[in-house]
Structure 1
Amino acid sequence: MSEPTGAARRRGPFKVGDQVQLTDPKGRHYTFTLEAGKNFHTHKGSFPHDELIGAPEGSVVRTTGNVAYLALRPLLPDYVLSMPRGAAVVYPKDAGQILAFADIFPGARVVEAGVGSGSLSSFLLRAIGDQGMLHSYERREDFAEIAQQNVERYFGGPHPAWQLTVGDLQDNLSDTDVDRVILDMLAPWECLEAVSKALVPGGILCCYVATTTQLARTVESIREIGCFNEPTAWETMIRNWHIEGLAVRPDHRMIGHTGFLLTARRLADGVEPPMRRRRPAKGAYGEDYAGPNADGGTGRRDGPVPQ
């Protein structure tokens, strides 16, 4: 049985073409691709790539300035934060949440809209494996080109489970029997009708949006379309800790808000979603609200508002 795509690049001695991440004594990272006969240069001196080719991962090299660097293959979270960008990348903390809460499994059939720089595509491809299917849609050709280069650089060539289409999802979506749909775009509500037809019953829709207004409109639009269960929305934040002897404290910096995530599951055809029993907060659908439930929350999904 052949190895999964990219697996050979994750183990064994360093080889020509491998990505290498160097860590200096101050914890700073430098990522480059191994090439025979080349030299790696820093302001603290240089060393030949040949010194690492054939060496085991976790080796230490010294520059001509006698500075030691630890050499490891970059983890996927490291790679996506250092790769060339067109659009902003989906941060690893959000990609991990998407893989977990959108329940991305080996062999899954996934549609992604808004490929950006290829960060989330790389995470999804590694999760679904060679037997899955990831069809990514990106409306900007320049972003699609950068994403394709980044994904192929990570896996060492084209991934057999990946198809990339330049164009709007709602105009080009032809996939059927899709298990998961991931929307990373400005107006995901514009695609709900198209993706609801593509998703299998029980399939998961996951949206990644940046602002509270996008979040609110997306949630209300999902409720309005009537073929999903009640959406769940959240955000994640990461705070590292400094540990040095008895000096144990949180770092002064943290990765705070990057975006909101929400998920909803496709109901069976012809099924009416259960009526929401939660009473809307006073003013939630006031005069200034112009979303799908502008009738004050008395539509079919919400039922009458108790007086």
Structure 2
Amino acid sequence: MSVSGPFRAGDRVQLTDSKGRHYTLTLADGGEYHTHRGGLAHDDLIGRPEGSVVTSAGGSTYLALRPLLPDYVLSMPRGAQVIYPKDAAQIVMWGDIFPGARVLEAGAGSGALTCSLLRAVGPAGQVHSYEIRDDHAEHAERNVVKFFGEKPANWSLTVADLASHEGEVDRVVLDMLAPWEQLPNVAAHLVPGGVLTVYVATVTQLSRVTESLREQQCWTEPESWETLMRPWHVVGLAVRPDHRMVAHTAFLLTARRLADGTVSPRVSRRPSKGKG
């Protein structure tokens, strides 16, 4: 599977029609993709440069491009709910996932975030993913292999609890129902100064994991937020927010591991209004 240059057999291609609808196919010599407006021969795409326009037998035109990672994530088969691109981007940035990093991921889900982590660490880094459910692990492995064309050599996927992990890591990402239960294990493996990122769906989870981090007293003050993505409609002078937006999907939280024996300076917090 090639990532640039002319299309080749084995490449994934995303076709976009005049209404902005996307269709994804994998090219094969002699293959044909059938649409409601007639067939489209794969051979008409093979050898063409990316960004070409092709025409179906029924006369419909399609723009042909290789799908980006966000396109792939939004269309991938899923077992567990995927981490949306807007949240994955925040995790990579604020979780400081850098080239060469050793990353521990707990809750592989459908493999959406795993693809982003593997891209960010590069071939010199490592991603160790843990998933307690066999069916989710199978989905994750299929999706990661399909995206990269093979199983990355620097990725391990283990069907087990995070507690079974051995060795130091630079970064940790938790996506699970009760992340506070794993904090002692995380603290045991994360290097001093390392970043923990937690992905949770509800306010109750956010509150509990935050207070658990404070009680453990080996973390910096946790920071938490959510990301809302609102597309804009821009046509000439008609510039306005789109009618639909990607609102709440999850809360993200980050904290950094303190050196053993260190007590972080106490953070002064203002009491809520109405409290003495």
Fold match (TM-score > 0.5): yes
CA distance in structure 1 between the partners assigned to 2:66 and 2:211 by the alignment: 44
1:159-199: CA deviation from partner (whole Å, max 9, x where unpaired): 011000001113x121x221000001111001000000100
- Contact 1:115/1:136 (8 A) holds in 2: yes
Find the counterpart in structure 2 of residue 198 from structure 1: 189
Amino acid at match of 2:261: G
Number of aligned residues = 276
Find the counterpart in structure 1 of residue 69 from structure 2: 76
1:9 Cα deviation after fit: 2.5
Find the counterpart in structure 1 of residue 165 from structure 2: 173
Find the counterpart in structure 2 of residue 265 from structure 1: 256
**Aligned pair partner of 2:116 in 115, 123, 139:** 123
**Aligned pair partner of 2:227 in 236, 257, 261:** 236
1:164 has 2:185 as partner:
no
Find the counterpart in structure 2 of residue 298 from structure 1: none
Find the counterpart in structure 2 of residue 224 from structure 1: 215
Q: Give the % identical residues.
A: 62
1:44 Cα deviation after fit: 1.2
CA distance in structure 1 between the partners assigned to 2:266 and 2:147 by the alignment: 46
Amino acid at match of 2:116: F
Q: 1:147 to 1:268 in 2, by over 3 A?
A: same
Amino acid at match of 1:15: R
Provide structure 2 residue ranges, at least 5 long, that are not aligned to the other structure.
Answer: none
CA distance in structure 1 between the partners assigned to 2:210 and 2:109 by the alignment: 23
Amino acid at match of 1:246: L
1:283 Cα deviation after fit: 8.0
Give TM-score scaled by structure 1 length.
Answer: 0.88
Q: Show the 5 A alignment for 1:29-108.
A: 29-108=22-101
- Contact 1:241/1:249 (8 A) holds in 2: yes
Find the counterpart in structure 2 of residue 292 from structure 1: none
1:77-102: CA deviation from partner (whole Å, max 9, x where unpaired): 00111111111110000000001001
Find the counterpart in structure 2 of residue 289 from structure 1: none
Provide structure 1 residue ranges, at least 5 long, that are not aligned to the other structure.
Answer: 1-7, 285-306
- Contact 1:9/1:156 (8 A) holds in 2: no
CA distance in structure 2 between the partners assigned to 1:240 and 1:275 by the alignment: 40
1:282 Cα deviation after fit: 6.3
Find the counterpart in structure 1 of residue 17 from structure 2: 24
CA distance in structure 2 between the partners assigned to 1:153 and 1:132 by the alignment: 20
Q: Secondary structure of the residue that 1:9 maps to in structure 2? A: coil
1:58-86: CA deviation from partner (whole Å, max 9, x where unpaired): 11111111000000000000011111111
Give TM-score scaled by structure 2 length.
Answer: 0.97
Amino acid at match of 1:67: S
1:272 Cα deviation after fit: 1.1
Amino acid at match of 1:103: D
RMSD of aligned Cα (Å) = 1.3
Find the counterpart in structure 1 of residue 202 from structure 2: 211
1:277 has 2:268 as partner:
yes
Amino acid at match of 2:214: R
CA distance in structure 1 between the partners assigned to 2:57 and 2:105 by the alignment: 46
CA distance in structure 2 between the partners assigned to 1:158 and 1:135 by the alignment: 13
Q: Computing the radius of gyration over CA atoms, which structure comes out larger, 1 or 2?
A: 1
1:112-132: CA deviation from partner (whole Å, max 9, x where unpaired): 001011100000000001110
